[in-house]
């Protein structure tokens, strides 16, 4: 992969099927048309078994399905996908593998998560968590965090157009590679996991950035993907921090303007920035310029 190239995938502002204009009234009583994002049910099958129906933005169904199955330990990293079928009319995606699968017992114990658009994980998702070995040699410079934040938050996006979305970004050093959005941050994360699997992308040298809060689900999925560093402009939950400690994951939250909080994994962080040179208003001004 060419390290100098940014945003191999980014929000598709030209896809008008992802948003719809609604009639509403603004703060001064004016009638306006406002673009809002759609929520589309997507049913995921693994071979002959129906696994889940998720509420999604409606784009990248193949990536989302593959990533979801990976992050639920239903697809294995050495699995061979023989076919991916997507029925646009039925909103169904079928992942077919060479390995025969049956997860009837696994699906008996579901856990509803704090994820937007109703996240679901299964009771044995932690079975392989203790065996995860994240790259201890990975490093992140504070200058990279500021650069990533600015590049992501000033990038034209559906969020700036219509709101009600979370974004997730796969980065190498300070270079954003993949930027996806969805109504649920877990959906956006699954899309990136699917892309990495299908493109055989290495994870040990990557950084994951999200706009959403750092919950247990986000930490578990990042660790399962083999990514050693997770950053958010939002905050943490207690479970998220504790699981990051268990996994040896570097967890950085509240990364806004010149501020950030490192909750775990400080040994990977190189402090190479004079915060006096960072202007809190830079990102906000750039965002407003895009919106206006």
Q: What pLDDT digit, counting tens, does each position of 175-192 carry?
A: 999 999 999 999 999 999
SS3 content of the chain, % helix, strand, coil (to 5): 30, 30, 40
Question: According to the model, what pLDDT value does residue 6 have?
Answer: 86
> Is 23 inside any structural domain?
no
Token couple for 35: 């673009």
Residues 244 and 113 grouped into a single domain: no
End-to-end CA distance of the chain: 35
pLDDT in tens, 64-115: 999 999 998 899 999 999 999 999 999 999 999 999 998 877 776 655 454 5
- CA angle in degrees (0–180, nearest 5) for 124-128-132: 145
pLDDT at 109: 61
Strands 269-270, 207-210: pairing is unpaired
CB 98 within 8 A of CB 82: yes
CATH number at residue 192: 3.40.140.10
Look up residue 120 and give its two tokens: 């679901």
Looking at the fold, whether 94 and 159 belong to one and the same domain comes out as: no
**Average model confidence (pLDDT) for the chain?**
88
Residue 200, pLDDT score = 96
Confidence at residue 175, expressed as pLDDT on a 0 to 100 scale: 97
Ranges 93-107, 130-144, 226-240: which has the least confidence: 93-107
Instruction: Look at residue 289 in the predicted model and tell me its pLDDT.
Output: 39
Residue 135 confidence (pLDDT): 97
Q: Are residue 188 and residue 63 in the same domain, yes or no?
A: no
Q: Is residue 9 part of a domain?
A: no
- Residue 147's contacts (CB-CB under 8 Å, 6 or more residues apart) are 174
Residue 63, judged by CB atoms within 10 A of its CB (0-12, 13-18, 19+), counts as: buried
Interval 34-39 mean pLDDT: 94
Q: In terms of pLDDT, which residue wins out, 136 or 120?
A: 136
Is residue 217 left, alpha or beta, with left meaning phi > 0 and alpha meaning psi from -120 to 50? alpha
CA angle 163, 169, 171 (to 5 degrees): 155
Provide the pairing of β-strand 120-122 with 40-46.
unpaired
Domain assignment of residue 6, yes or no:
no
Q: pLDDT band at residue 128, thresholds of 50, 70 and 90?
A: low
User: Last residue of some domain: 91, 125, 159?
Assistant: 125
The reported pTM is 0.88
Average pLDDT over residues 233-247: 95
Residue 99 and residue 235 in one domain: no
DSSP letter for each residue of 221-237: HHHHTT--EEEESS-B-
Residue ending a domain, choose from 125, 149, 165: 125
pLDDT of residue 291: 41
How large is the average pLDDT for residues 260-288? Answer: 79
> Does residue 12 belong to any structural domain of this protein?
no
Residue 205 has pLDDT above 70, yes or no: yes
Total tally of structural domains belonging to the chain: 2
17 found inside a domain: no
224-257: burial string, b at 16+ Cβ within 10 Å, e else: bbbbbbbbbbbebbeebbebbebbbbbbbbbbeb
Specify whether the CB–CB gap between 209 and 169 falls below 8 A.
Answer: yes
pLDDT of 222 above 70: yes
pLDDT tens across 45-71, in order? 999 999 999 999 999 999 999 999 999
Would you say residue 168 has pLDDT above 50?
yes
Do residue 73 and residue 145 come from a single domain?
no
Domain that holds residue 117: 40-125
């Amino acid at each position: 992969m060419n390290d100098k190239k940014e945003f191999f995938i980014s929000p598709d502002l030209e896809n008008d099927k992802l948003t719809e204009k609604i009639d509403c009234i603004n703060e001064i009583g004016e009638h306006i048309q406002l673009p809002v994002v759609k929520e589309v049910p997507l049913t995921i099958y693994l071979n002959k078994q129906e696994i889940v129906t998720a509420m999604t933005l409606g784009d990248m169904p193949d990536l989302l399905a593959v990533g979801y199955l990976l992050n639920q330990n239903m697809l294995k990293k050495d699995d061979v996908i023989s076919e991916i079928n997507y029925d646009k009319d039925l909103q169904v995606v079928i992942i077919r593998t060479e390995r025969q699968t049956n997860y009837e017992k696994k699906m008996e114990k579901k856990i509803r998560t704090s994820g937007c658009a109703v996240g679901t994980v299964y009771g044995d998702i932690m079975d392989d968590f203790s065996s995860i070995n994240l790259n201890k040699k990975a490093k992140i410079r504070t200058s990279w965090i500021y650069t990533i934040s600015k590049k992501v938050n000033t990038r034209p996006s559906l969020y700036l157009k219509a709101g009600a979305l979370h974004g997730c970004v796969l980065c190498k050093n300070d270079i954003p590679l993949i930027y996806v959005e969805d109504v649920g941050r877990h959906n956006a994360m699954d899309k990136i996991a699917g892309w990495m699997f299908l493109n055989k992308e290495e994870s040990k040298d990557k950084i994951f950035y999200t706009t959403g809060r750092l919950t247990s689900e986000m930490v578990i999925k990042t660790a399962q993907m083999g990514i050693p560093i997770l950053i958010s402009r939002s905050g943490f939950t207690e479970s998220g921090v504790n699981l990051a400690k268990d996994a040896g994951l570097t967890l950085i939250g509240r990364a806004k303007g010149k501020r950030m909080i490192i909750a775990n994994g400080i040994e990977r962080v190189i402090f190479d920035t004079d915060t006096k040179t960072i202007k809190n208003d830079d990102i906000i001004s750039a965002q407003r310029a895009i919106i206006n």
